[in-house]
Chains A and B, each alone.
Chain A
Amino acid sequence: MIRLEPRPQSSALWTYASPMLAIVITIALGILIFMALDKDPARALQMFFWEPLKSKYAVGEIMIKATPLLLIALGLSVCFRSNVWNIGAEGQFVIGAVCAGSVALMADKSTGLWIVPALMLAGVLGGMFWAGITALLRDRFNANEILVSLMLVYVATMVLSFLVHGPLKDPGGFNFPQSKTFEAITRIPRLMSGSRANIGVPIALICAVLLWIYLFRTRAGFAQQVGGLAPAAARYAGFSSRRALWVALLISGGAAGLAGALEVAGPIGQLTPYVPAGYGFAAIIVAFVGRLHPVGMVLSAVLMSMFYIGGELAQSRMGLPRSITGVFQGLLLFCLLACDTLVTYRLRWIRKGAG
């Protein structure tokens, strides 16, 4: 018989080994799913873990999908570390994209390159505004941030839908619900030719470094997290929980908004109803699998991005439904949560009759 026994101290080894084990179990379950679907598991794994690394273009695609995931996850990690449950990053992403897109649509032939930082700023502010609604309602009225932030995702999608069906619809677009294609000058500059990766990639990595400094090398960052670990200690130390709430939501909203700006002015290039692609939800998994640590989240964002690209390849080349990506993402989070038990508990084999 196996019994779970609490560890006197949480295991440092398993803190890092647990995500690895979770990934291994997810892949094992994936192989079973492929076999159940009568598809060659080796070929399927190749779609997920080899094809996306094969060429410069493919690696660029990984980076372009990992960027929004990483940016959003970085922001969410501040929330989760301070025990603020913002699960509406998808909405903040959409509003960021809407604001950035509106700025991009103002550009004409004579606009200078300043439009790029301007639209990114608009995205950040838009995302902060949207997350700020949740912060305000939580702070002033004690409304549950999980439900409010999530409801605002649906509202944000409707705002986008309204704009592309109405005020921002391309007059010459044959009545399709989408805006004009943005002027070339507004495009987020690419890093190199032959790949779609743009300067969003280094921006996200810089954000990861800044977050690391903030979390582990500043007093403000420390104060921010104490409330999540030990609310009583935070109160005693005089760290304001209201401040922590606002900071967490504004940082994560801003990060998600920036991701939305980079997405809409990068790979998409216009406002369409297809801007929300689920990055805001997938980033929750990225944040947890990355242990809410900047370095870990860089790695998990790349992994999650490979899930996306692998899912697309598996659809086009093996006829598997694309939604298999969502299945794997959910499985991964489940496995992680289960494996995390090993951080605080250990397994003990007990012979029957003993104890």
Chain B
Amino acid sequence: METYALLLAATLNAGTVLALAGLGLLINEKSGVVNLGAEGMMLCAAIAGFAAVVYTGSDLFGFLAGMGAGMLMAALFGVLVIWLGTNQYATGLALSLFGLGFSAFLGVPYTQEKLPERIGYSWPILGDIPWIGPALFQHHPVVYLAIAVAFALIWFLDKSRTGLVLRAVGESPQSAHALGYPVRSIRLLAVLAGGALCGLAGAYLSVIYTPLWVEGMVAGRGWIALALTTFATWRPARVLLGAYLFGGLTMLQFHLQSSGVQVPSEFLTALPYLATIVVLVLISRNPTWIRVNMPASLGKPFHPG
């Protein structure tokens, strides 16, 4: 019984990285811009966050540094794509490749570094309940923040006026422009929000989840988060759910490995990637599903005037 509580806890923890990045990319894509640079932003944020904690000893500064790094890279991407009209796929890819190299470069002095002792967190009273406490109420605050972000996004996209404008920009930038909304600035803000959340995800990974810096440590999570927005057909609650499912898959892999199941460990490591492909196929085989929910201008450049 105790193992399952720990497994559930680990699932929430692992899913948080994917959830934050996936929700960020969701905002990004709702405005009509695909940022394939998620992996690169997360890597740079991971090293920025890690380095900040090494210097300041404060996790909060680590998260802020990660978000800053993510936003900086997102800004670079945004200016190129939104103002200079470069190809979104190629530019995002450039961001990922650059981030991979740049983070490895910056991270060289930090590969042996250790962070100060990580503190345990627990909710008062709730955290002491047997089974439920360790499973749900002894997590880092960022885990709950991810859930809060998901619900805030549901409200923002469905109920708020700004959210409506954001969706309009993603569905029909021409109409939004004709109504007088600054399409480019709105898109840039959405891209920056995406960068901030991907950055937080990267920093959480290196500061809390691992907590280590290893070259290329994001290991495809940025790409899985990109796939998540499609799986979730651009709905925040489904992104959250999908993130936990994939987090669970990662944990299941460790669980199976340690319980001595006779499967090659490489197969288990490949499981999240294979699962991404399988789910992508299952979702995509119904084109209307995708088409109904996908922001209509996704991936298409917009030139005012």
Q: What residues on A are CB-neighbors of B219 within 8 Å?
A: 154
- Prevailing SS type, chain B contact patch: helix
Q: What residues on A are CB-neighbors of B285 within 8 Å?
A: 140-143
Q: Which residue of the partner chain, among A141, A151, A162, A330, contacts B101 with CB atoms under 8 Å? A: A330
Q: What residues on A are CB-neighbors of B276 within 8 Å?
A: 147, 151
- A333 adjacent to B97 (CB under 8 Å): yes
Q: Does B284 contact A (CB under 8 A)?
A: yes
Q: What residues on A are CB-neighbors of B290 within 8 Å?
A: 142
- The chain A residue with its CB closest to the CB of B303 is A6
- B85 adjacent to A321 (CB under 8 Å): no
Q: What residues on B are CB-neighbors of A146 within 8 Å?
A: 36, 89
- A141 adjacent to B105 (CB under 8 Å): no
Q: Does B35 contact A (CB under 8 A)?
A: no
- A158 adjacent to B98 (CB under 8 Å): no
- B277 adjacent to A281 (CB under 8 Å): no
A345 to B86 CA separation, bound complex (whole angstroms): 11
A87 to B95 CA separation, bound complex (whole angstroms): 14
Q: How distant is B255 from chain A, measured CB to nearest CB, in Å? A: 18
Q: How distant is B267 from chain A, measured CB to nearest CB, in Å? A: 7
Q: Does A85 contact B (CB under 8 A)?
A: yes
- B98 adjacent to A165 (CB under 8 Å): no
A337 to B215 CA separation, bound complex (whole angstroms): 26
Tell whether A330 pairs with B97 under 8 Å between CB atoms, given A142-B285, A151-B273, A324-B105: yes
Tell whether A340 pairs with B93 under 8 Å between CB atoms, given A148-B280, A326-B102: no
A345 to B301 CA separation, bound complex (whole angstroms): 15
Q: What residues on A are CB-neighbors of B85 within 8 Å?
A: 341, 344-345
- Greatest chain B CB density within 10 A among A326, A328, A329, A344 is at A326
- B284 adjacent to A4 (CB under 8 Å): no
Q: What residues on A are CB-neighbors of B274 within 8 Å?
A: 151, 155
Q: Does A327 contact B (CB under 8 A)?
A: yes
Q: How distant is B271 from chain A, measured CB to nearest CB, in Å? A: 9
Q: How distant is A130 from chain B, measured CB to nearest CB, in Å? A: 12
A324 to B99 CA separation, bound complex (whole angstroms): 12
Of the listed stretches B4-12, B14-22, B123-131, B223-231, name the one at the interface; the rest are far from the partner chain.
Answer: B223-231
Q: Does A137 contact B (CB under 8 A)?
A: yes
Q: How distant is A249 from chain B, measured CB to nearest CB, in Å? A: 15
A285 to B98 CA separation, bound complex (whole angstroms): 11
Per-position binary interface string of chain B over residues 243-268, scored 1 when its CB falls under 8 Å from any chain A CB and 0 otherwise:
00000000000000000000010110
Q: Which residue of the partner chain, among A87, A330, A345, contacts B98 with CB atoms under 8 Å? A: A330
- A326 adjacent to B266 (CB under 8 Å): no
Tell whether A337 pairs with B280 under 8 Å between CB atoms, given A159-B266, A326-B104: no
- A161 adjacent to B266 (CB under 8 Å): yes
Question: In residues 268-325 of chain A, which contact B (Cβ within 8 Å)?
Answer: 281, 284-285, 288, 321, 323-325
A161 to B266 CA separation, bound complex (whole angstroms): 7
- B97 adjacent to A162 (CB under 8 Å): no
Q: What residues on A are CB-neighbors of B87 within 8 Å?
A: 337
Per-position binary interface string of chain B over residues 278-304, scored 1 when its CB falls under 8 Å from any chain A CB and 0 otherwise:
001100110100100000000000010
Q: How distant is A241 from chain B, measured CB to nearest CB, in Å? A: 14
Q: Which residue of the partner chain, among A87, A159, A327, contacts B93 with CB atoms under 8 Å? A: A87
A117 to B270 CA separation, bound complex (whole angstroms): 32
Tell whether A327 pairs with B101 under 8 Å between CB atoms, given A142-B285, A334-B94: yes
Tell whether A152 pairs with B86 under 8 Å between CB atoms, given A144-B230, A326-B100, A333-B97: no
Question: In residues 202-228 of chain A, which contact B (Cβ within 8 Å)?
Answer: none
Q: Does A118 contact B (CB under 8 A)?
A: no
Per-position binary interface string of chain A over residues 1-39, scored 1 when its CB falls under 8 Å from any chain B CB and 0 otherwise:
000101000000000000000000000000000000000
- A162 adjacent to B277 (CB under 8 Å): no
A158 to B80 CA separation, bound complex (whole angstroms): 35
A82 to B216 CA separation, bound complex (whole angstroms): 31
A340 to B94 CA separation, bound complex (whole angstroms): 14
- The chain A residue with its CB closest to the CB of B287 is A142
Question: In residues 60-85 of chain B, which contact A (Cβ within 8 Å)?
Answer: 76, 80, 83-85
- The chain B residue with its CB closest to the CB of A80 is B90
Q: What residues on B are CB-neighbors of A162 within 8 Å?
A: 264, 266-267
- A284 adjacent to B104 (CB under 8 Å): no
- B101 adjacent to A154 (CB under 8 Å): no
Tell whether A288 pairs with B273 under 8 Å between CB atoms, given A141-B285, A146-B36, A323-B108: no
Q: Which residue of the partner chain, among B89, B97, B266, B287, contacts A285 with CB atoms under 8 Å? A: B97
Question: In residues 327-355 of chain A, which contact B (Cβ within 8 Å)?
Answer: 327-331, 333-334, 337-338, 340-341, 344-345
- B280 adjacent to A338 (CB under 8 Å): no
Residues of chain B whose beta carbon lies under 8 Å from any beta carbon of chain A: 36, 40, 76, 80, 83-87, 89-91, 93-95, 97-102, 104-105, 108, 215, 219-220, 223, 226-227, 230, 264, 266-267, 269-270, 273-274, 276-277, 280-281, 284-285, 287, 290, 303
Not counting A151-B220, A321-B105, a sample of 4 additional A-B residue pairs whose C-beta atoms are within 8 angstroms of each other reads A4-B83, A144-B227, A329-B101, A344-B85
Sample of 19 A–B contacts (CB below 8 Å): A4-B83, A6-B303, A141-B284, A142-B285, A146-B89, A147-B230, A147-B276, A147-B277, A151-B220, A152-B273, A154-B273, A162-B266, A281-B100, A288-B90, A330-B95, A330-B101, A333-B98, A338-B86, A345-B85
Sort A-B residue pairs by CB-CB distance and give the 7 closest, nearest first. A326-B101, A330-B98, A323-B104, A162-B266, A158-B270, A333-B94, A158-B266
